[in-house]
């Protein structure tokens, strides 16, 4: 657990350990989320990636891909078609 103090301008400094865990640096945006009466902060880019991954979960198996190599091979073939090889 980390502690931060609210300044007279209602600003906080996010402790370095938390910034590292969230993969954020000066100038980055953060998102505040409320869940079950608690407030969380997160890196919006990481959150978006996680939500897309969750939304696509199982789609590869439904499409008939048995492994990541199957999907890579398919993508290689699609690229060849698009490029006209």
Q: Whose CA is closest to 22, among 2, 50, 41, 3?
A: 41
Return phi, psi of residue 68, to 5°.
Answer: -65, -35
**CA pair distance 59, 43, nearest whole angstrom:** 25
Model pTM? 0.56
At 23-75, the pLDDT tens digits run 999 999 999 999 999 999 999 988 887 887 788 778 888 888 888 788 888 88
**CA pair distance 19, 15, nearest whole angstrom:** 6
């Amino acid at each position: 657990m980390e502690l931060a103090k609210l300044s007279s301008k209602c600003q906080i400094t996010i402790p370095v350990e938390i910034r590292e865990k969230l993969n954020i640096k000066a100038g980055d945006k953060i998102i505040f989320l409320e869940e079950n009466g608690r407030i969380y902060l997160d890196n919006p880019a990481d959150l978006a990636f996680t939500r897309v991954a969750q939304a696509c979960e199982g789609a590869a198996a439904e499409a008939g891909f048995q492994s990541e190599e199957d999907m890579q091979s398919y993508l290689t073939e699609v690229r060849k078609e698009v490029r006209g090889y």
